[in-house]
């Protein structure tokens, strides 16, 4: 018999909600609708005692009689949630919300499931909807505070937790100290988170400043290089013009030389005179070309003297900026490494919780249990061990 029960329990946890309901219906395990109140009450009583597995078995055994009852799916979702079967809990509670959209209890439980599944956006949507539907239920503020804690939003958790502690009759007085500890924990963690954020801001500011300095050095280098290019261009254009003037002078000298040459007829009739006049023409050409070349070279030198100091100054500036850029790149790499290390350390930070927040969300008590001063375990939720 124990073996059969074990196999049945395995079957319970491995099938979808509706499949399990129909399975029991087919097996003749469904009860008459008249027994609904006692079955739901018994299941909720068992869950108030932390016996979630047993409660789920009872609910599934009579499930076909509850197909249109939101309360059944809320209870089933609570049972699965307490037993850490988040997927099945989500299915059941989503069904409950679909059947009764104005059920604050369904939205509250669904918020807990979504938080435990790390779907914090969905969790806050559900918890906010629960709060809109029931502003008097202190469990909603309590759960929202726990979800903020689980999401690492410590500063947002404090107001909710403090509000619960100030709500008269919301929870037993025996657990008031626990709420105070939780509020202190939230405040302390918020301060630590603020300090970590400040450290990251300082490191990020260092990264930004170094990067800005590097970009400024890079911009200045590019500007200097552009100015150098313009000066070199102006210099080369002036040299080109001097070269063209020199070529023009050579053309003019050649023309004048040709006019100075003696007639070829004189070469025969008076060779002596011819040679004398040709020597004079040759001397003219030699002197003129030398003077033209000297003038061009002097012009070139003047152009170089005009631009060289400016270009040399820009070369020195570019070298200094280049050296500065190399240093800044090295510093930027170090700054980024420090910032990344701090981010990684902060992400890996695990606080020392005053109690198991996940267990508190899994085993959030029923309204009746939360208000019963005779059951301090209602808020000391980690005392509830899923069966």
Q: Which helix (H) or strand (E) holds 35?
A: none
Task: Give the span between the Cα atoms of 377 and 387, in whole angstroms.
Answer: 16
* Residue 28 DSSP label: T
Task: Please give the structure tokens belonging to residue 231.
Answer: 């000066």
Q: How confident is the model at residue 127 (pLDDT cuts 50, 70, 90)?
A: very high
Q: How confident is the model at residue 3 (pLDDT cuts 50, 70, 90)?
A: very low
What rounded mean pLDDT belongs to the chain?
Answer: 84
Q: Looking at residues 79-83, what average pLDDT do you find?
A: 97
Quote the pLDDT of residue 28.
33
Task: Give the span between the Cα atoms of 190 and 203, in whole angstroms.
Answer: 20
Q: Looking at residues 8-26, what average pLDDT do you find?
A: 38
Task: Give the span between the Cα atoms of 146 and 161, in whole angstroms.
Answer: 8
Task: Give the span between the Cα atoms of 235 and 161, in whole angstroms.
Answer: 77
Specify whether the CB–CB gap between 142 and 130 falls below 8 A: no
Q: How confident is the model at residue 370 (pLDDT cuts 50, 70, 90)?
A: low
Helix/strand/coil percentages in the chain, nearest 5: 80, 0, 20
Q: How confident is the model at residue 10 (pLDDT cuts 50, 70, 90)?
A: very low
Task: Give the span between the Cα atoms of 253 and 60, in whole angstroms.
Answer: 118
Q: 113-122, 221-230, 306-315, 363-372: which range is least confident on average?
A: 363-372
Choose among 69, 140, 59, 121: nearest CA to 98. Answer: 69
Specify whether the CB–CB gap between 88 and 79 falls below 8 A: no
Residue 138: is its pLDDT beyond 70?
A: yes
Q: Which of 150-164, 266-280, 368-382 has the highest mean pLDDT?
A: 266-280
Task: Give the span between the Cα atoms of 369 and 21, in whole angstroms.
Answer: 27
- Among residues of the chain, what percentage have pLDDT more than 90? 63
Q: Looking at residues 16-23, what average pLDDT do you find?
A: 38
Tens-digit pLDDT profile for residues 88-100:
999 999 999 999 9
Quote the pLDDT of residue 175.
57
Q: 9-13, 139-143, 228-232, 241-245: which range is least confident on average?
A: 9-13
Superfamily per CATH, domain 2-171+355-383: Tetratricopeptide repeat domain (1.25.40.10)
- Taking the chain, what is the end-to-end CA distance rounded to the nearest angstrom? 19
Task: Give the span between the Cα atoms of 370 and 139, in whole angstroms.
Answer: 8
Specify whether the CB–CB gap between 88 and 46 falls below 8 A: no
Alpha-carbon dihedral angle through residues 141, 144, 145, 149, given to the nearest 10 degrees: 170
Q: Tokens 């679909």 appear where?
A: 98
Specify whether the CB–CB gap between 158 and 183 falls below 8 A: yes
Q: Looking at residues 163-185, what average pLDDT do you find?
A: 69
Residue 211: is its pLDDT beyond 60?
A: yes
- Among residues of the chain, what percentage have pLDDT more than 70? 82
Quote the pLDDT of residue 256.
95
Specify whether the CB–CB gap between 144 and 153 falls below 8 A: no
Rg (CA), the chain: 46
Quote the pLDDT of residue 90.
97
Within 10 angstroms of residue 136's Cβ, the number of other Cβ atoms is 9
Task: Please give the structure tokens belonging to residue 116.
Answer: 């435990």
Query: Bigger pLDDT: 62 or 236?
Result: 236
Q: Tokens 């900026």 appear where?
A: 321
pTM: 0.60
Within 10 angstroms of residue 61's Cβ, the number of other Cβ atoms is 19
Residue 36: is its pLDDT beyond 70?
A: no
């Amino acid at each position: 018999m124990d073996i059969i029960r074990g196999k049945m329990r395995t079957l319970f946890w491995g099938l979808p909600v509706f499949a399990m309901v129909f399975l029991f219906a087919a097996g003749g395990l469904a009860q008459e609708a008249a027994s609904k109140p006692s079955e739901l009450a018994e299941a909720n009583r068992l869950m108030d005692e932390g016996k979630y597995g047993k409660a789920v078995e009872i609910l599934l055994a009579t499930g076909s009689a509850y197909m249109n009852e939101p309360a059944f799916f809320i209870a089933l979702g609570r049972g699965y949630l307490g037993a850490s079967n988040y997927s099945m809990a989500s299915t059941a509670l989503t069904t409950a919300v679909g059947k009764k959209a104005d059920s604050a209890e369904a939205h509250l439980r669904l918020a807990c499931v979504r938080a435990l599944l790390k779907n914090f956006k969905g969790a806050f949507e559900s918890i906010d909807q629960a709060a809109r539907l029931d502003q008097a239920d202190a469990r909603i503020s309590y759960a929202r505070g726990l979800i903020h804690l689980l999401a690492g939003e410590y500063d947002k958790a404090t107001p909710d937790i403090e509000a619960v502690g100030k709500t008269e009759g919301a929870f037993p007085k025996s657990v008031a100290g626990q709420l105070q500890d939780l509020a202190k924990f939230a405040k302390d963690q918020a301060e630590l988170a603020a300090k970590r954020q400040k450290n990251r801001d300082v490191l990020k500011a260092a990264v930004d400043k170094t990067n800005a300095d590097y970009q400024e050095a890079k911009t200045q280098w590019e500007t200097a290089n552009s100015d150098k290019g313009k000066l070199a261009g102006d210099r080369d254009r002036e040299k080109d013009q001097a070269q063209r003037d020199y070529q023009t002078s050579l053309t003019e000298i050649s023309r004048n030389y040709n006019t100075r040459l003696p007639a070829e007829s004189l070469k025969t009739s008076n060779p002596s005179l011819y040679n004398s006049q040709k020597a004079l023409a040759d001397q003219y050409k030699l002197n003129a070309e030398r003077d033209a070349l000297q003038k061009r070279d002097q012009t070139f030198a003047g152009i170089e003297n005009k631009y060289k100091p400016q270009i040399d100054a820009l070369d020195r500036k570019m070298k200094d900026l280049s050296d500065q850029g190399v240093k800044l790149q090295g510093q930027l790499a170090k700054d980024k490494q420090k910032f990344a290390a701090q981010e990684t350390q902060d992400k890996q930070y695990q606080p020392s919780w005053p109690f198991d927040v996940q267990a508190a969300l899994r085993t959030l008590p029923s309204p009746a249990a939360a208000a019963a001063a005779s059951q301090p375990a209602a808020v000391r939720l980690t005392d509830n061990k899923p069966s």
